[in-house]
A and B are shown apart, each in its own frame.
Chain A
Amino acid sequence: MKILLIEDEPELRKSVKAFLNDEGYVVESAADFDDARDKIGAYDYDCVLVDVTLPKGSGLDIVKELKSLQPQAGIIIISAKGSLEDKVSGLELGADDYLSKPFHLTELNARIKALFRRKNFDGNEVIVIKEIKIFPLKRTAFVNDQPIQLTAKEFDLLLYFVSNKNRVVSKSSVAEHLLGDYAERMDSFDFVYAHIKNIRKKIVEKGGTDYLLNVYGIGYNFNVEQ
């Protein structure tokens, strides 16, 4: 999987690149508009992450060009302008997803995976992790081939953890994943905790292993390496 990251802030570029490399992606990066245009003209990408405000041009123009040059590439817009404005225009131009800055790397990772799933499988994708099987588009999950009944939020949460397996996922990123901008004011951590308790219970009930580790109060790790 090849990803192009178009972002002008070098430190952010470094972090995103490192995080995505760890996931096994090949990541190339572009620092400005011209650089980005050269790269999308020369190479094919599976996914392009575009910052809207770029030196020498707008990321939205890159999106337009990408749509004609590489219609198969998934596009995720990253914008510092706030979630309400560029979202609509970006998605109208043909971007697949939208993420507003600052974002959690684990959230970006989950979005990229969801994008690949939508692009590459026709609803038949299955994520298999040991005894757990998840059908993301059908929104069903099985443990030892027995279906488990998860609520919509529990399913989202499980998928989020699985997308970031073997990673430390912070509590705040989990809360934001579920509640968006409302995460903060909702005493959200208790609420996240309640969901996680349910997920664990439902997996263990069907004879599954509880892979979800608490990491010193900071967050969780869906760890299948041990």
Chain B
Amino acid sequence: MRLLTRTSLYYVIFSLPILILAGCLSYYFLTESMLEGTDELLLSRKENLIPYLKDNNEQFISFLNSGEEEKVWFQAGNCQANDVFSDTLLYSNEEDELIPYRVLRTSVANEKGCYKIKLMRSALESEEVFLGVFTALLILLALLFITFLVLNLYINKKLWQPFYQTLNRLENFKLSQNVAEHQEKVSTLEFNLLNISINKMMSKMTSDYQLQKQFTDNASHEMQTPLAVMQAKLEQLMQSRKLGEEEMLLIHTLNESISKLVRLNKSLLLLSKIENRQFESSDIVSVRDVMESSLQLFQDYIESKEIVVSIVHSGVLNLKMHKGLVEVLIGNLLQNAIRHNLQNGKVLIEISEQGLSISNTAGESSLEESTLFERFSAQSDHSDSNGLGLAIAREIAIVHSLELVYRFKDGLHCFELIYSK
């Protein structure tokens, strides 16, 4: 639920009891004052009657008694001249229902004796008042609701706009894309503060990231020369005829380690260069061609493992990127599929306009997808792997807006490169 929808809802929910209370109060005060009015009306009618009754105007009395609402009758004896108000229900023929009446019982004394008076007035109006109040409240509630909606829209558009902009900026923020562009100053203090903090945070993150990348880049680069010297010296040493088996084995171990370090360093360097987007992507490269040359490169290896490779071309896929990168990307995926394969295993390759998929037989269980493409996350027991092959492949994919996904289906490990124009 959106923040504004939520606040409006709260407003409406909390205004409901207030409205009900207001309704009750206004009903109470209205009926009170109406009752007072009715009573006063009845009293003034009584006052009007008094002169006639004092005169014993028979004609008038019988005229009075012909109506519904006034009854006057004579009663001998003492007169207690007090006014008694009461409520009653009477059946009305016109309305065909019981109608509330306000009744005033009183008596007027004259020289002959005592006239008892009963004056009535319909209290129907107070029910109508109740209805009126209720309707008014309903309309008020509806109006309030509509006002909130309209206000909501307006506030949403105007007041919260900078907030949604900031949110959008955060959502689209990518460390690698180096877009820490600052948002304009806005008029709301809180949003401004938020933006300032976010800008600070973003620039810090980006600069940290840049520094870290530069460090990897520089470190790998600086290591190249000493490694080259080590390798060359070791090779020179190998040529010596004065060495015995023991020394040679030491040299062998050293050589292996240095070779590993050299390749690791090359991979890291490549990775940081891909991240830094140092490869211009102006070539149009046919995936089919690169796939064929990669298969050629690994042919002996495929044969020695007796792997059956089947390749399906259901479309032509051309990628616009550095040819070397396409070679690395496909080479790494293919190598992965061959290397982790079983003896007499299978590799299925499909090239279509939508992408490339490489599936291979291997272990029966799915690989851990969350860490599969992470650096140095070699999942197998191949100790000679540096765990960078897939990381490099994915980095190439990301930089070129391709999607590289892993699936485990029907006992096949499938790496799919999805190309969307």
Interface residue ranges, A against B (CB under 8 Å): 9, 11-12, 15-16, 18-19, 22, 80, 82-85, 87-88, 100-106, 151, 153, 167-168, 170, 172-173, 176, 178-187, 190-191, 194-195, 215-219
Contacts and interface: CB of A to CB of B under 8 A. Distances in A.
Interface of B: 221, 224-225, 227-233, 235-236, 238-239, 245, 248-249, 251-252, 255-256, 259-260, 262-263, 266, 269-270, 273, 278-279, 297-301, 304, 322, 324-325, 328, 331, 335, 338-339, 382, 384-386, 389
Given A172-B256, A191-B300, A216-B249, A16 B335 contact: no
Nearest to B332: A182
Contacts of B252: 170, 216-219
Contact of A181 (B225, B238, B260, B263): B263
Given A12-B232, A184-B386, A216 B339 contact: no
B297 A12 contact: no
B249 A15 contact: no
A182 B229 contact: no
Contact of B335 (A12, A185, A191, A216): A185
Q: List the 3 closest pairs (A to B, CB-CB), nearest first.
A: A102-B228, A15-B232, A84-B324
B300 A151 contact: yes
B235 A105 contact: yes
A102 B224 contact: yes
A9 B229 contact: yes
Contacts of B251: 218
B300 A80 contact: no
Q: Is the interface of B mostly helix, strand, loop or mixed?
A: helix
14 contacts: A9-B228, A19-B232, A19-B235, A19-B239, A84-B324, A100-B266, A170-B235, A172-B256, A172-B259, A181-B331, A183-B263, A191-B300, A215-B248, A217-B252
A84 B232 CA distance: 22
Contacts of B382: 185, 187
A80 B225 contact: yes
B259 A191 contact: no
Contacts of B386: 184-185
B44 to A, nearest CB: 109
A204 to B, nearest CB: 21
Contact of A16 (B224, B232, B385): B232
A105 B232 contact: yes
Nearest to B386: A184
A165 B224 CA distance: 28
Contact of A83 (B225, B245, B324): B324
A11 B229 contact: yes
A31 B310 CA distance: 52
